[in-house]
Each structure stands twice: as C-alpha cells, then as structure tokens.
Amino acid sequence: MIKSICVCGAGTMGTGIAQAAAQHGFDVILYDLSLSMLQQSIEQIEKNLQLLADKQKISSAARKSILEKLRFENSLARCKADLVIEAVVEKIEVKTELFRNLADINGDETIFASNTSSLSITTIARQHPDPSRVAGLHFFNPATIMKLVEVVKTGYTSEEVVQALMTLSRDMGKTPVLCQDSPGFIVNRVARPYYIEALRLAEEGVPYSVIDQLMESAGFKLGPFGLMDMIGNDVNYAVSCSVYEQLGKPERLRPSEIQKEKVTEGMLGRKSGAGYYTY
C-alpha cells in the first residue's frame, strides 16, 4: 500500500502532483536540486491553498494539514518513499540516471513511475535494477484539477505495481486509464492531429484566433493554439517530435516549423508571457 510519495522535479508538473497528493492525505517529499525551484514551488503551493481557503473550498485547518504533509528536499539521499514519481526534464538519460540513483537509496518494494508525456517507459525500465517496478504515471496540467491519469505498463511491469498505481490514482481523486507503453500513450497520440492540422492551416495563412474560435464553437473547451500556449510550446513540440520519430516519421505527423520557431525564440506560451498569444 502506498502511503508516502517522492516527487522529483519542482517544475509546474512536479509541484502540481505534489500538491494533489498532499491534498489527498499522502506524505509527500518534493525534490529538486535547485533551491530556487523549491522556493518557487513552496510559494506556488501556499498561494494555491490560500486561494482554496479564501473560496471556502478547504478550511484553514485543512490548509495547515496539507502543508504539513509536504517536505521539500534538495538532497537525493533523503528521498525515500513507497512511490517515486519523476517529473524532471524530458531527456531519457536524465530520467534513467535519477531512477538508478534512487533505486540504491530506496527499498526493494519502492515503485518508480515516470510522468513523461511520450518517452518510452520500456527504455527507462530496461535500465532500472528491477524493471518490474517501473511504470508510467502520466498526469495532465494542471495536475491539481485534471482528473485523467494514464497508467502505462510495459512488458516488464508487474501486475502488483499496475494495481497499486490504479488504486493510488483513484485515492488521489483521479480517473486512471490503463494502457500499454506506446508512442504518445493514448492522449498525446490522439491529440497530435488536433495540433498538427491546426498548425498546417496556420502555415497556409489562417489566423490562430480564427482556428481557435472555430474549434471552440464546435465544442472544444480550448482551441489548439490556446491549448498549446497553456501546455507550453516547448513541451508540446517535444512530444510532437517524439511521436513523429517513434512512429517512423509519417508525413501527416511532421512537426511544424511555426512551433519550432516559437520554441527557438522562447515564446513558450503562458509561462513565458507570449506564444501564439500575448499574456
């Protein structure tokens, strides 16, 4: 049974996952090598919880209790838990090295889960001392609000680990969907045409706002460009490149030069203040 969770990476996703876990009663360690990132994470979580208290969605006592469930660490040696969730940079060598180091620190029962959007969980598992205890646990941004979680199993993942992660997701108030390791898993595989075709139209001169308005009028909560700005163009472009490469570079999924330029120019969306729109 999972009672304690170590989240590695104090960026947007790691911070959101840590807060969501603490809100549902888990003891949480949030690790990052950067003290400034940890400080930003602390401030963000305190701000989020205060907003919930101001809206009377949680009590002041609950806010205090949630904060007491969180521990912030920049020493890997103190990162011991029943479950490790990595939400670090989308580079497979960084993720595999982190898991190997944490395997030396943690016990034989610890589960290792990657929050990667599209990298191969199987490749990560192969480089772990016990591949049977490695799986994907893909949350969506913002992790405190979005209900869906993809539980990604490989050919190595034990049934015990799969069931533990399905139960954990439900205990965190999420809706888990079990899938096999494959390029883009379910959501990012299905979503590629939504983004890519919208970018093709933009390449032909159709304004971003027109495309978004049309898609929203058809029932989508957010148009593709507003959604890419919310996700982050760097993240979205990296996923597009990953899925494109893993599926053998089909022309229909070729990443757009428009998005590549946005990433190169640092126009990442909401988090940078500008993307397809200005914030």
Q: Which domains does the chain have, with CATH numbers?
A: 4-180 (3.40.50.720), 189-271 (1.10.1040.50)
Annotated ligand binding at 90? The verdict is yes
Active site residue 188: yes
Residue 37 contacts residue 66 (beta carbons within 8 Å): no
Q: Name the burial class of residue 279, with classes exposed (0-12), middle (13-18) and buried (19+) by CB atoms within 10 angstroms of its CB.
A: exposed
Q: Which of 250, 225, 245 is nearest to 236 (CA)?
A: 225
Annotated ligand binding at 14? The verdict is yes
Annotated ligand binding at 256? The verdict is no
Q: At residue 46, what are phi and psi to the nearest 5 degrees?
A: -60, -40
Active site residue 73: no
Report the 10 Å Cβ neighbour count for 68: 10
Q: Output the pLDDT for position 120.
A: 95
Q: Output the pLDDT for position 106.
A: 97
The single residue of 138, 236, 240, 242 carrying the catalytic annotation is 138
pLDDT at 1 over 90: no
Q: Please report, as a single letter, which amino acid is at residue 69.
A: K
d(CA 234, CA 248): 21
Region 43-62 average pLDDT = 96
Annotated ligand binding at 260? The verdict is no
Annotated ligand binding at 130? The verdict is no
Across the chain, mean pLDDT equals: 96
Q: Output the pLDDT for position 44.
A: 97
Q: Output the pLDDT for position 164.
A: 98
Token code pair at residue 222: 């957010």
Region 44-70 average pLDDT = 96
Alpha carbon 36 to its chain's center: 20
Q: What is the DSSP pairing of strand 70-73 with strand 83-86?
A: unpaired
pLDDT digits (tens, 9 = 90+) for 6-18: 999 999 999 999 9
Residue 275 contacts residue 233 (beta carbons within 8 Å): yes
Residue 202: its H or E element: helix 187-203
Annotated ligand binding at 117? The verdict is yes
Q: Output the pLDDT for position 275.
A: 98
Region 17-27 average pLDDT = 98
pLDDT digits (tens, 9 = 90+) for 131-190: 999 999 999 989 999 999 999 999 999 999 999 999 999 999 999 999 999 999 999 999
Active site residue 24: no
Q: Output the pLDDT for position 18.
A: 98
pLDDT digits (tens, 9 = 90+) for 77-128: 999 999 999 999 999 999 999 999 999 999 999 999 999 988 999 999 999 9
Region 197-224 average pLDDT = 97
d(CA 21, CA 137): 13
The single residue of 188, 240, 242, 256 carrying the catalytic annotation is 188
The single residue of 41, 117, 169, 256 carrying the catalytic annotation is 117
Residue 178: its H or E element: strand 175-180
Annotated ligand binding at 10? The verdict is yes
d(CA 9, CA 211): 34
Region 213-235 average pLDDT = 96
Q: At residue 184, what are phi and psi to the nearest 5 degrees?
A: 80, 0
Percentage of the chain exceeding pLDDT 90: 99
Annotated ligand binding at 55? The verdict is no
d(CA 230, CA 233): 8
The single residue of 86, 118, 150, 169 carrying the catalytic annotation is 150
Residue 35 contacts residue 58 (beta carbons within 8 Å): no
**The overall pTM is greater than 0.85:** yes
Annotated ligand binding at 11? The verdict is yes
Annotated ligand binding at 95? The verdict is yes
Q: At residue 8, what are phi and psi to the nearest 5 degrees?
A: -105, 120
Q: Please report, as a single letter, which amino acid is at residue 221.
A: K
Region 213-227 average pLDDT = 96
Active site residue 117: yes
Alpha carbon 61 to its chain's center: 29
| CA within 13 Å, CB half, 132 | 5
